[in-house]
Each structure stands twice: as structure tokens, then as C-alpha cells.
Chain A
Amino acid sequence: MPALEQLLHGTALGDDDAFARLYDEAAPRVYGLCLRVLRDPAQAEEVAQEVLVEIWRTATRFDPSRGSAGAWISTIAHRRAVDRVRSAQASGDRERRAAAQSEPEYDAVAEAAATRLEHRQVRRCLGTLTELQRQAVTLAYYGGHTYRQVASLLGAAVPTVKSRIRDGLLKLRDCLEVAR
């Protein structure tokens, strides 16, 4: 997706228009990921705003030789969303967690995603993983859990989960590359 790289480069040069176009390209991905991890539209919106402003602020640090713009943007979004989950857990915010577990938002997300084409390939590739690999990867990524939490959720040994996540991602990498 070289267009994204170009917009990010323009953003790094302080070009407001480039950033506005980058916003249009990237905001649904950023917001959707925050929403999936946090499950709460108000918090997702708040975190997405932080992420998008951080993208503007640190676009100057993006190095295309180290990875794609999509990976860079999604990484910032995922990390921020996960940080929010962990700080809510740390502060023992039960109410927030209870609210975060309501399902309707997730259904809305899944429905919106179903209308997009890109997801087919990812779903197919996730299907090449073993059940434990797939569960470990998706609980960690979409659920925002640490691998230790994943282990206790799955009733599996911590070292097993650790290596299943890695094995699963290696398989995912190979599948996505082959199909590209």
C-alpha cells in the first residue's frame, strides 16, 4: 500500500492536507481496532484520537526501511488500546470492564467488517492455524490479553501458549505472503 507511505511522508513534512487524507485512509482501521480491543465506543473514540494525533506527531520517526506504514500505524493503535486495557485492569475498574464486555458493539464491528473485502484473506489464513494457535493469537491480539492471561483463559501451560503464539504468527506470515 504505497499510497499510505506517501501520505505518511507528506505528514512528516508537516503537510496538513496529506494528514487529512491519511486520516481518511487510516482512521477506520485505527478506530475499528481500538473498538475491538476496548469494546466500548466512547473509549475507542478517545484512544483513536490519541493514536491519530500521535501518528501526526511522530510521522517524522517513521522509517519505511523498517516496515510498512500500515504495520506502523496499526502497531501504535494496538499498543495504545492494550495500554488502556491494562491500566483499567490495574486500577480495578470493574464498572468499565463490565461495560467493555457488552456484545452489541462487537456485532456492529463484525458486520461492518463483513462488508469489506480484505478480511477474507486473513480469515482464510487464520484457518490454517491449529485451534490452540488461533485461539492464542486472537485472544492476545483482539482480546488485549497478556500471554499469561491467555494461558489461564485456555487452561494451558504458559510456555505452551508462548510458543503457540509465535508458531501461529509464523504460519500467518507465510500464508499472507504466499497469497500476496
Chain B
Amino acid sequence: MSADVHTLIGAWAVDALDDDERAEVEHHLGECESCAQEAAELREAVWRLSDVTIADPPPRLRARVLTEVARTRQEAPEPPAAEPRTARPRLRRHRGMPRLRLALAAGALAAVMAVVGGIVTWSVMRDTEPSRSDQIAAVLESGDAAIGSIAADGGGKVSVVYSEQLDKAVVVLAGLAAIGEERSYQIWMVDPEGQVSAGVMDPGDRSATMLVEGLGDAELIGVTQEPAGGSETPTLPLVAGVPLEG
């Protein structure tokens, strides 16, 4: 099999493998120094293929990226030596209902958990690691978790569990008033300086669980109705505003 894996290095370098083969090749590269050398050399050649596709992105992308980066924590660096990946300690949480240390208002919490356990619509951070469910569990379990909940205008409810320590909040929106496919609900963090978008729900969706990072000095989590895909600034009035006790 080894010779076969070796011939896949080219296809690996241009991402032309399926997931199983990719894993197989990368495992092989970890064990075969000359192969890893060849793979690295091919990657150095391959990336030059992107010389011919350089194109200016829309100017708005810069502000979006810098804004998101401003509230995105960087990963810890690799351990110094080439330790096996499995040796790296990582907080693993079993799936299912996170346990809670804090006695929160039982009714509100039940509502939060019911939605957290359900299917989630959320477009902003779909691919980030650690997994979203782990991050949500971390907020719900944090020692300083606090909860706020308010009925939304037109029906439904918005609940926020937030942790100052983690600088994160879980926002649960349930059964908001029906809106057409051309409108989206958008979530905002409001602080004394103004407001920042904390996420946009898929058009027409009335329920969602959102993970909000980088709370900072936010005093309020607000929800507005916006054109599908969201707006740069909120369209008032708020559908709901949940105050955060600082």
C-alpha cells in the first residue's frame, strides 16, 4: 500500500483526494521523511499556480475581516517538540446536554436548553474550532454564567446566557414573529459607543441559537428586523433588547 500512497502525494498537493485518502497520505507523511520532503516541495510549486488567479476582492471584505478578527481569539501555538497529536491535552466534552453548575431560573433555562439541543441555524462561525456545541456548553457551564430573557415584540422570546470571563454569550431566539424570505433577524451588541452586528439569521428564520464572542463592554443584546442578509446599522425599533448586568 505504501507505494500506492506515495503516488497520491501529487494529488494530495492539489487537494484532489477524498477525505479518507487525504488522511491516509497525511498519516504516511508523518512516518516517511523523504515523502514529507517531496510533499513540501510540491506544495511550494503548487501555490505558485495561484499567481495567475490574483484578483482584487471587494473593498468591503477588508472591514469585515478586520472586524471579525478583532473579536476572534488566536489558537495556542503548537507544543515545541513534535509530540503526537493525541498527546495534546484538550478539553473534551461528551455530546448531549451540558451539565450546569449554576442554578439558573429553571423555566428560562429549560427554554434555552431545549433550543440549544435542537437543530441550529447559524451562518457566521459555522466552521470554527473548537466545535460550536463545545463553545456553547462552555458558556452555559461557566462559573459566572448569568441569564437574561425578554419577550419579543410581535411574539416569541429572546434569552441570553452570558459569561464575562469567557467574553461570550449564547443567544437563543425562539418563535419570533413571522417574516418573509426577504427579511432576516439580526443580533447586535450594544455598548456606550454604539453597536456591532453579532450575527444575522437566515432569511425567514424565526428561531436560532447564536454564539456571540467578544462581548466587551456590551450592555445590551438587541434584535432587529433587517433586509435578508442583514444591515450595517440596525433598523429601529428593536424587536427585543436583553440588558446584560455588568
Contacts and interface: CB of A to CB of B under 8 A. Distances in A.
Contacts of B61: 27, 31, 45, 48-49, 52
A49 B9 CA distance: 28
Contacts of B8: 162
Contacts of A176: 44-45, 48
A61 B78 contact: yes
B69 A45 contact: no
Interface string A76-99: 011100100000000000000000
Interface residues of B, number: 47
A71 interface: yes
Contacts, number: 189
Given A27-B57, A173-B41, A49 B70 contact: no
A45 B57 contact: yes
Contact of B54 (A50, A63, A113): A113
Given A77-B50, A137-B14, A147-B17, A28 B55 contact: yes
A109 B72 contact: no
Given A140-B14, A165-B16, A173-B41, A116 B54 contact: yes
Contact of B45 (A52, A140, A145, A172): A172
Contact of A162 (B11, B47, B48, B72): B11
Interface in B167-194: none
A129 to B, nearest CB: 11
Given A60-B75, A61-B78, A112-B55, A33 B50 contact: yes
B82 to A, nearest CB: 10
A108 B57 CA distance: 12
A12 interface: yes
B80 to A, nearest CB: 11
Contacts of B69: 16, 19, 52-53, 56
Given A14-B74, A59-B74, A75-B47, A109 B13 contact: no
B93 interface: no
Contacts of B72: 53, 56-57
A167 interface: yes
The interface residues of chain A, by DSSP majority, are classed as helix
Contact of A60 (B44, B51, B77): B77
B56 interface: yes
Interface string A115-143: 01011011100000000000001101110
Contacts of A168: 10
A30 B61 CA distance: 12
Interface of B is mostly: helix
Contact of A20 (B40, B43, B66, B78): B66
Contact of B53 (A113, A150, A162): A113
Nearest to A63: B78
Contacts of A102: none
A32 B53 contact: yes
Contacts of B94: none
Contacts of A112: 54-56
B16 A79 contact: no
B10 A169 contact: yes
B127 A50 contact: yes
B50 A29 contact: yes
Interface of A: 12, 14, 16, 19-20, 23-24, 27-33, 35-36, 41, 45, 48-50, 52-53, 56-61, 63, 66-68, 70-71, 73-75, 77-79, 82, 108-109, 112-113, 116, 118-119, 121-123, 137-138, 140-142, 144-148, 150, 159, 162-163, 165-170, 172-173, 176-177
6 contacts: A32-B54, A52-B69, A112-B54, A162-B7, A173-B44, A176-B48
Given A109-B55, A163-B7, 13 more contacts: A12-B77, A20-B66, A52-B61, A57-B128, A67-B43, A73-B47, A109-B53, A121-B48, A137-B49, A140-B14, A169-B14, A173-B44, A173-B45
